[in-house]
Amino acid sequence: KAGVTQTPRYLIKTRGQQVTLSCSPISGHRSVSWYQQTPGQGLQFLFEYFSETQRNKGNFPGRFSGRQFSNSRSEMNVSTLELGDSALYLCASSLRAAWDGYTFGSGTRLTVV
């Protein structure tokens, strides 16, 4: 079966712009989580969606937002980009995010210049 698909793979944006990243989970998976990975902070949890509802949120500013559609696909948005937002953004899908296991996508590499 198809894995977790993230688009685009690479993005270059200018400071102050906004960006939208997309994640298509494995068919049948209803939970989608987002993570930010940087060399300094490692992998940090952004938020998790299940059946179009945000169930959990990490410690990130309000510039980071997300949503999930009825087909379980998810998008995350970052507004007013800062240089420090440059990172690899990963999404993970799971059946229910309750010890079901998490499958990660290949990530979107965002560079803010």
Cis amide bond preceding 25, omega within 30: no
Alpha helix positions (H), 1-113 = none
Contacts of 103 (CB under 8 A, 6+ apart): 3, 4, 26, 29, 92, 93, 94
Which of the ranges 18-26, 63-71, 78-86, 101-109 carries the binding residues for other proteins, by CB under 8 A? 101-109
CA angle 98/1/24 to nearest 5° reads: 65
- Cβ proximity to other proteins: between 40 and 62 the closer is 40
Which of the ranges 11-19, 45-53, 64-72, 77-85 carries the binding residues for other proteins, by CB under 8 A? 45-53
Residue 90 in contact with other proteins, rule: CB under 8 A: yes
Residue 67 in contact with other proteins, rule: CB under 8 A: no
Residue 25 in contact with other proteins, rule: CB under 8 A: no
Give residue 74's identity as a one-letter amino acid code. S
Residue 96 has which token pair?
A: 């229910």
Residue 31 in contact with other proteins, rule: CB under 8 A: yes
What is the contact surface with other proteins in residues (CB under 8 A)? 4, 6, 31-33, 35, 42-43, 45, 47-50, 55-56, 58, 88, 90, 92, 94, 97-99, 101-107, 109
